[in-house]
Amino acid sequence: MSRLLVSTFIRMLKKVIFWFFVLCMFAYGVYSALNIASEARIGFVLDGCLFECLPLMGLISAIFTSLFIGSEYSDGTIRNKIIVGHSRIRIYLANLIVCAIASVLISLSYTVGVFVIGNMNGGELITETATIFLCMISSLMISVTFASIMTLLAILNTNKAGNVVVSMILALVLLVSGSFIHQKLGEPKLYDNYVTVNEMGIPTQVEQLPNPQYIEGTPRIVLEVLSDLLPSGQAIQLADAFDTEGMTDESIANAPYRWMGYSLLVTFLTSVLGIALFRKKEIR
């Protein structure tokens, strides 16, 4: 297993698409930090841009994983591995682990870009270190979960071009679904108080009104579970949890534990399903 994993990892390092995404995400991190730094006179807060890249990781993972595993099929690498005696379980796990590592490294390259500019321009983190650490671990788990989902799709489809299209469509569906759910859950329960002034200049206080768009009861519980279960939902929540003043919602401090649990669950289920289907797949 170790030799199989190392050989797969080395092939990943030789892929131009991997280094392309690493450089792009590093540049994006630099841009995000510079954008915040340009608006600050003395120092600036890094919290607001630290997790900004996460919603994009689904799409990046879809493209990289489908191209990488698609090349494994088109080059005959997977077929040769089976011929020399490697089990399909080990082949699947090796590809899953390498794609997960690639997604994590691509995600970290963004963080490195943010901290490089932060160190050069007096940037700092104002959220508690423990909270940032937990959120960082959770963000890496999100990348792993995306890789797990995309590996399941890629390993079952030998057509590289078709694989890229299907994976990108799924990534976009997950992103749109996560955004929609997050928007619905973010609706206020009541409209804020406001004052109207009539033609005579007399102000009138208007009471708070219930928001008809607010979701409550069982539907809200279902949407909250879906938002935490979907890696795209977690990514959007995490990206929206911080701004230039630090953490926007204190309840987020305990959310990483829940997110990591859901990420492990999705990763485990997709891996088990992928292995079961790959063992039955006919490879020519």
- pLDDT tens digits, 99-133: 999 999 999 999 999 988 888 877 778 888 888 89
Query: What is this structure's pTM?
Result: 0.88
The answer to whether residue 30 is domain-embedded is yes
The answer to whether residue 211 is domain-embedded is no
User: What pLDDT score does 220 carry?
Assistant: 87
The answer to whether residue 203 is domain-embedded is no
The answer to whether residue 164 is domain-embedded is yes
The answer to whether residue 216 is domain-embedded is no
The answer to whether residue 184 is domain-embedded is no
The answer to whether residue 20 is domain-embedded is yes
Which residues form the domain of 139? 1-179+235-280
- pLDDT tens digits, 42-99: 667 787 888 889 999 999 999 999 999 888 888 787 787 878 877 888 989 999 999 9
DSSP string, the chain: -HHHHHHHHHHHHT-HHHHHHHHHHHHHHHHHHHHHHTT-SS-EESGGGTTTTGGGHHHHHHHHHHHHHHHHHHTTHHHHHHHTT--HHHHHHHHHHHHHHHHHHHHHHHHHHHHHHHHHTTEE--S-HHHHHHHHHHHHHHHHHHHHHHHHHHHT---HHHHHHHHHHHHHHHHHHHHHHHHHHTS-SBPPPEEEE-TT--EEEE---B-TT---SHHHHHHHHHHHHSHHHHHHHHHHSEETTEES-GGGGGHHHHHHHHHHHHHHHHHHHHHHHHHH----
Total tally of structural domains belonging to the chain:
1
The answer to whether residue 112 is domain-embedded is yes
